[in-house]
Structure 1
Amino acid sequence: MRRWPRLLLTGALVLAGLAGAQFTFTKLNLAGQQVQSVDLYGAEYASQVTLGDLLDVKRDGSLVRVTGLGHVLLLPLDEDQVRATTDFNTVQLDAQRVQARTATWVNGNIYLPLDTLARGLGAAYQKGKFTLPTRTLQNVSSRAGKDTDRLVLDLSRDVTVRDELKGTVLRIILKGTVGQTQRYTTRGAFIPYADVKQEGENTVVSFTLPQNSGYRVYPVVRQGGTRIVVDVGPGIPNDTPVLMERLAKPLIVLDPARVEGLGKDVTLEVARRSAELLTKAGWQVKLTREQGSALPLNEKLRLARASDVYLALDLGRFPKTTRGGVTVYENTGRSPAKFVNALRNGTENPPLGSLAVGDMGATRRLSELLRGELKGSGVTARQDSVARMLTLSETAQAALLLEVGWAGNAQDRANLGTEARMQALSVSVARSVATYLTARANNASQVASAGAGVTP
């Protein structure tokens, strides 16, 4: 019985402690989402968990590190709630130290002051509403150097940045950012001007990349926003020559299958004629065999892996079949290379990865071009798919099988014996391949003007 007074006294002290912690639960509009916050001694706080979808909040000893929107904030973690809610605490907002409210504990959880967060992140805040700043391109400035020019893009907050080369034009894409359309002139020799345009939800800054110049793009955190720096000039190493060479001088591989008993080697004849047209137009072409010789399988597979277009030519052969006509087969099988599959599936996305590995859309585009050229020459071609052809599966770029007819079909044999059909097949192959590679070069990246060919 004597224990009851002590228990009652302990309970009273606990209740007194809770009563002394003057906070109430409130509602907060956090960047458009309704969440819970607390009013602690007149200041509004939100928990680490609540802020977790917007910011990276981590405890680092006696400090709380807040990372997000292009900023890093360091707030002391004070167990004294009353002291934490005063503005006599020293907190660090990026590189600046200021007096403001700081982090504290509430019911065993870390809570952070919303006014301090807004101040450090450049957000708008009033009690019950925390609004993120709009992603805005605020200013474009430049600096000229001896062998490098610098373009500086000042932004209101962090943005996702992507750079791409189209032809000789370098495009800096600022995702989800608003910018004013105009041209900025500079005093630089390597970036004389830069154009800013709004493309949908993105702002694009573009300029011509000088010959023999490299570039680099990187972010810099500053007080009140984020800065994207672009350095351009011969002083920057050009670290993409191998991939660019694939656009400047792509490799076309024609692989004619040997078919006996037709009187003439029709697949080789079509391949030879196509190769001659493409070579005269300036393209690089390899054949996997000639009349009396053929490459071994390993060498053929090596060419397939190195090719930008791989086109196998064959005749359908199946006993007692009634099939006939021309068919274009698209490769749909998985590659034996995990890296190729990862790029095609989107699980890996390295810079300029599309130049190393083409997606299945590349094969489809080439197929459509080839069938269109054949149709224009009076030849109807069906479209089909093939998944288990070794050479096609080894390719990382566009790969097709052109079935020029069926060996057992009398009409097909008669057609293939005419000059008109051989010319239609050869010209269609050459023109479709050249059109596909020209479009890829124009749309994908920088092209060396002397390296690429033209359409035959």
Structure 2
Amino acid sequence: MGTFVGRLVSRAGMVLLLVGAGLAGAQYAFTQFSLAGRSVQSVTLYGAEYAGTGTLSRLVAVTESDGVARVDGLGHVLLLPIDEDRQRATTAYNTVQLDALRVKAPTATRVDGKLLIPLATLARGLGATYAPGQFSLAPAVLSGVSSLAGKQSDRLVFTLNRNVTVREELVGNALRLTLVGASASTRNYTTRGAFVPRVQVTGDAGGARVTLPLPGGSGYRVFTVQDTNGARVVLDLGPGIPLSVPALLAQVRRPLIVLDPASIPGRAQDVTLEVARSAAELLTRAGWQVRLTRTTAGSTETSARADLARQSDVFVSLDLGRFPGVSRSGVTLYEFAGQSPDAVVNAYRQAQAAPFVSQVVSGAGSSRALSNLLRGELKSGGVTAAQQAQSRLLLLGEAPKAALLLELGWPQNEADQGRLADPNRTGQMATALARAVATYLTARANAGQS
């Protein structure tokens, strides 16, 4: 045989590559297998079937470090050494770790630089059913909910026939758990607990959704217990559980709206404060939590305003146009453009996929969504507003979520001066602001965000 021989054979829909190099040969085939009812690509090495990390991404997350592939999914962790010798990787002489158990099984390897995971080992670690060409998981079913009352915390146990991924969300004053992919009957449960009196279970396409009230001052923890009969998701909740959620998440339970009326010296009418007060009154009456950066004439320290901005779920500054010699008029909505001056906010925004991050910060899209809502409300009241993005609005940059500057008009313009003095006009603007903010926060809460 020469130093390199290649043959390409097509047989029964299979493309087989035989490559010889020196004394040893590397043999693999591109094949198809069924994963959760979908036909996807696999690679067969020396009779062992493998799949790439992209193919498996809907089922598990695969990372690699120091020559080991880590597979996370359905509550399991698999550690597979990466053996660059493909033939050796396919044998049962490799030691892999499936959760806490070390076993002999085929391990991870590479083809053309791409990391591959052995399907037989993956199925064994996840509790799936596998045969060549077929990889399936038994449908996850939430079969029961039980409770136990304690002095300082309550325990809820959700029984399933197999492990699932559990997602946690804080929505207003409620905790929501999603048992991903699990089916469940929609019903309400009354518990024996003092801190969690009721639980709502809803079955939908994404999985079983568990919603329960989260009392003030209570912490919680979620963990999974596996046994030969399935899995149990355990939730402990109550004042006896330390608060493990970062302090930055405290406002998630009840969104904070901060209105920031600019102080403009030399004006008899404090129109920014009037509009802010009226909007705050409307929002407060509707049950929202509102803070003003000032409530009387005079200015507030910038540091104090910035501190409130950092705590806000919605931050709206109200100002008047006041560049000397500029001939402008009308209402303008400004959004902040660029990176936040707060390094913590930037760090969270760069980790949007991590748990709870969407509860802590949001991107530019949230400010634009609020701006569009406010612009629509203003238009309904007969007020046309322009939209602009500015990088010099640093106070808006301190806000981790939706933030706007509402420029009410230009006092040096005669027409605007008349509009700013009209209580009907300023009342319309306050109503538009209150409606837009309430609509924005309600939509986010309904979408499972804060």
TM-superposed deviation, 1:138? 5.4
* Structure 1 residue 231 displacement after superposition: 2.4
| Equivalent position of 1:163 in the other structure | 168
Percent identical pairs in the alignment equals 39
Structure 1 unaligned residues grouped into runs of 5+ = 1-17, 447-456
Contact persistence 1:149–1:188 (CA under 8 A): no
1:200-243 superposed Cα distances (whole Å, 9 cap, x missing partner)? 34332334446654321123444476543322344433445953
Letter aligned with residue 141 of structure 2: L
Aligned residues: 409
Equivalent positions of 1:53-452 (< 5 A) are 69=73, 70=76, 72=78, 102-103=105-106, 118-119=123-124, 121-126=126-131, 128-134=132-138, 136-137=140-141, 139-146=143-150, 147-157=153-163, 159-175=164-180, 177-183=181-187, 185=189, 188-189=192-193, 194-209=199-214, 213-223=218-228, 227-240=232-245, 242=247, 243-245=249-251, 247-248=253-254, 250-258=256-264, 260=266, 264-274=269-279, 283-288=289-294, 290-291=296-297, 293-318=298-323, 321-344=326-349, 346-349=350-353, 351-433=355-437, 436=440
Q: Could you say if the C-alpha distance between residues 45 and 60 of structure 1 is closer, same or farther in structure 2, counting changes exceeding 3 Å?
A: farther
Aligned to 1:454: none
Q: How far 1:335 sits from its partner (Å)?
A: 0.7
Q: 2 CA distance for matches of 1:402 and 1:318?
A: 16
Q: Given residue 409 of structure 1, which amino acid in structure 2 is its aligned partner?
A: N
Quickly say closer, same or farther: Cα 1:235–1:135, change in 2 above 3 A.
farther
Compared CA separation, residues 27 and 340, structure 1 to 2 (3 A): closer
Amino acid at match of 2:135: T
Give the whole-Å Cα distance in 2 for the aligned partners of 1:182 and 1:207.
14
The one-letter code matched in structure 2 to 1:252 is V
**1:410-433 deviation digits (Å, cap 9, x = unpaired):** 211122233322333344444544
State the distance in 2 between where 1:305 and 1:390 align: 12
Work out the CA distance in 2 between the residues paired with 1:186 and 1:144: 12
Query: What is aligned with 1:45?
Result: 48
Q: Normalising by the residue count of structure 2, what TM-score does the alignment of the two structures yield?
A: 0.68
Change in Cα spacing, 1:342 to 1:365, as seen in structure 2 (3 Å) is same
Q: Distance in 2 between matches of 1:349 and 1:112?
A: 24
- Which structure: greater helix fraction? 1
Give the CA deviation at 1:388.
Answer: 1.5
Alpha-carbon distance between aligned partners in 2 of 1:33 and 1:92, rounded to the nearest angstrom: 26
* Separation of aligned partners in 2, 1:380 and 1:204: 42
Tell me which moved more, 146-155 or 269-278: 269-278
**Cα drift, residue 117 of structure 1:** 6.0
- Partner residue, 1:6: none
**Superimposed CA distance per residue, residues 232-281 of structure 1 (whole angstroms, 9 cap, x where no aligned partner):** 34443344595344643725232324164x66443344345545666677
Structure 1 residues 421 and 207: CA distance shift in structure 2, 3 A: closer
Per-residue CA distance 1:398-445 (angstroms, 9 max, x = gap): 322222222332211122233322333344444544555566567657
Q: Helix, strand or coil: the match of 2:418?
A: helix
Query: Deviation of residue 67 (structure 1)?
Result: 5.3
Aligned to 1:9: none
- Unmatched 5+ stretches in structure 2: 1-22, 110-115
Across the aligned residues of Structure 1 and Structure 2, the Cα RMSD in angstroms comes to 5.0
